Amino acid sequence: MKIVLVRVNDLDDFTGFIVGRGFSVSRGSHAVLLDHSELETIRVSRGGELVALIVSHYISEYYRVEYRGVEDEDEYLRELLRVKHSGEHWRIPVNPLIVVVFDDSFIDVLNDYRAGEYPVSDGGRLVEHYRSSNPNYKNVPRVALARILEELQSIK
């Protein structure tokens, strides 16, 4: 087992890249955090065998409502519903992905990936706003990684 950090600007592009290389991707545990970011685990497999687990901490299209600073509760809920029905969908990691690799050949796939553009034109601004508003953001995925490692240890 190895742990690798991967810088990604568009989580959907990254998972598409992995699928394009012949792997299966399934979404695991997911949580929306109090700071309006999201935390998710992603399972990567090939031929039914688990190849890697990915811990992703990201913002989605719903973060845009927070970015706008809407303070009225009713207006905030209306904005969330507007985003939900807009068809807009994206996920931008605010930290490097933490990849727990069980098959060393997957490291070659990770090394071949190149982070492209953000999926939306204001993606960089949204990430910077999130980071400046949440100075401890780097700690979030570390807690999830610790839990995964603890669980893997108990399986042995």
Question: What proportion of the chain, given as a percentage, has pLDDT over 70?
Answer: 97
Distance CA 64, CA 123 (A): 10
Which three-class secondary structure state does DSSP give residue 76? helix
Neighbours of 85 (CB within 10 A): 8
Per-residue pLDDT at 21: 97
Q: Is residue 150 pLDDT above 80, yes or no?
A: no
Span 8-15, mean pLDDT?
A: 98
Domain count, the chain: 1
Residue 143 has pLDDT above 70, yes or no: yes
On whether the CB atoms of residues 55 and 41 are closer than 8 A, the answer is yes
Whole-number pLDDT of residue 54? 95
Average pLDDT, the chain: 91
β-strand partners of 3? 100
Q: Identity (one letter) of the amino acid at 145?
A: L
- Quote the CA–CA distance of 80 and 40 in Å, as a whole number: 20
Say whether pLDDT at 91 is over 70.
yes
Average pLDDT value for residue range 21-27: 96
Q: How far apart are CA 148 and CA 151, in angstroms?
A: 5
Query: pLDDT band for position 154 (50/70/90)?
Result: low
pLDDT for residue 155: 59
Q: What gap in Å lies between CA 102 and CA 55, rounded to an integer?
A: 14
Q: Where in the sequence is the domain holding 49, given as residue range(s)?
A: 2-155
pLDDT at 120: 96
